[in-house]
Amino acid sequence: MLPRLRATLSSIAYAACLASSALLGAQPQAQAGDIPTFTVDAAWPKPLPNNWILGQVGGITVDWQGHVWMIHRPRSLTDDEKGAALNPPRSKCCVSAPPVLEFDADGNLLRAWGGPGDGYEWVGREHGIEVDERGFVWIGGNADNDNAILKFTLDGKFVSQIGSIAPSKGSSDTTQLGKPAETAIDKAADEIYVADGYGNHRVIVFDATSGAYKRHWGAYGNKPDDAKQPAYDPKAPVAQQFGNPVHCVKIANDGLVYVCDRINNRIQVFRKDGSFVKEFFFEKNTLGNGAVWDIALWPDPQQTYLLAADGENNEIRIVRRADGTVVGSFGRNGRNAGQFHWVHALAVDAKGNVYTAEVDTGKRIQKFKLTSDALK
């Protein structure tokens, strides 16, 4: 074929393709570089001082400064792991680190505190941590009577609490929580949202300063029901109530509220008043502990993606926030750097670096550096 004729035919084909796309309303497809990809930083964090060791890591978050905060469970350490703390010492290493630790992005430990103190009762099993821009640290727990969230200064001084370390009163009570899993702060409204939790079946909202009750809701925005639910069955109709645990809550810049219904393998999306918007299902055949453990919002202006932690399948999914499409993933079950055993929580900083926390026998935190152009 002559070169000029070949070029003409190519131009016609290209024009026809453009016309077809316009008629169909087709949108440009994301380029490979637009999707977040990561590599593990095996040297992060730097070794802990004072012969310290971590137990199960019940929560992780990034504050407004880009500092990484985590809360772990000293009581989850075995005698072998905390041998130096026994009387007499069993071995040279180790002793438990305090429950709350703060790191900078390079992995330097900045401060550590937590545990029982004057004026408050510490939780029985540490679960969830949030740091707000007013300089307060919120922590919770999921032991039997951990039906409160506690508020501290950045240096660990107790400020106040919502609920109490006492028996739960169920999903209709507005003064007591039910083994809350995680919190999220709405700075503009001065409200704190609670994923409530391992005992209750709801999201509940309080004034973040006074602790006054505002509102609560269950799955699909309905009244939560504490009746015993059947075991998850992927062949059964979808559950009309949240399962236990209601494991995470996150608030997007556009006002949408994302909730992890872990055991039912779904994220439900709401407006701030509790009205239901939509839901996304993931790995619906997953049994065990479920496929949706935590989520983080991608830090571009549109918050284009959700990063979703799956502690049963031990992977992080990259999910397009608009429609729930999975566009990538990383991690697998294992104990090498970049692998997971019960990845329980995750957070992302403004530069797109991801931080993960593991429970059960994982007992570690990891950092994954952004390697694509997803923030450019």
pLDDT score for 6: 42
Instruction: Give CA–CA dist 362/359, Å, rounded.
Output: 5
- Tell me the pLDDT tens digit for each residue of 349-372: 999 999 999 999 999 999 999 999
pLDDT above 90 covers a percentage of the chain that reads 90
Q: Does the structure show a pLDDT above 60 at 304?
A: yes
- Tell me the pLDDT tens digit for each residue of 27-58: 445 555 699 999 999 999 999 999 999 999 99
pLDDT score for 376: 80
Instruction: Give CA–CA dist 135/193, Å, rounded.
Output: 17
DSSP label at residue 291? S
Closest CA to 112 of 101, 97, 104: 101
Closest CA to 45 of 112, 94, 108, 100: 108
Q: Does the structure show a pLDDT above 70 at 12?
A: no
For residue 24, what pLDDT band results from cuts at 50, 70 and 90? Answer: very low
For residues 344 and 294, the answer to whether their CB atoms sit within 8 Å is: yes
Q: Which amino acid is at 209?
A: T
pLDDT score for 339: 98
- Tell me the pLDDT tens digit for each residue of 315-344: 999 999 999 999 999 999 999 999 999 999
Using a CB cutoff of 8 Å and minimum separation of 24, what contacts does 144-149 make? 144/179, 146/179, 146/180, 147/176, 147/177, 147/178, 147/179, 147/180, 147/199, 148/123, 148/176, 148/177, 148/180, 149/177, 149/180, 149/183, 149/192, 149/194
Q: Evaluate the CA torsion angle 369, 373, 374, 376 in order and state its sign.
A: positive
Q: Does the structure show a pLDDT above 50 at 13?
A: no
- Tell me the pLDDT tens digit for each residue of 103-122: 999 999 999 999 999 999 99
Instruction: Give CA–CA dist 291/213, Å, rounded.
Output: 31
pLDDT score for 31: 57
Q: Does the structure show a pLDDT above 70 at 7?
A: no
Instruction: Say which residue the tokens 């505190």 belong to.
Output: 113
Q: Which residues pair with 281 in a beta bridge?
A: 266
Count of C-beta atoms within a 10 Å radius of residue 79: 10
pTM of the predicted model, to two decimals? 0.91
- Tell me the pLDDT tens digit for each residue of 156-191: 999 999 999 999 999 999 999 999 999 999 999 999
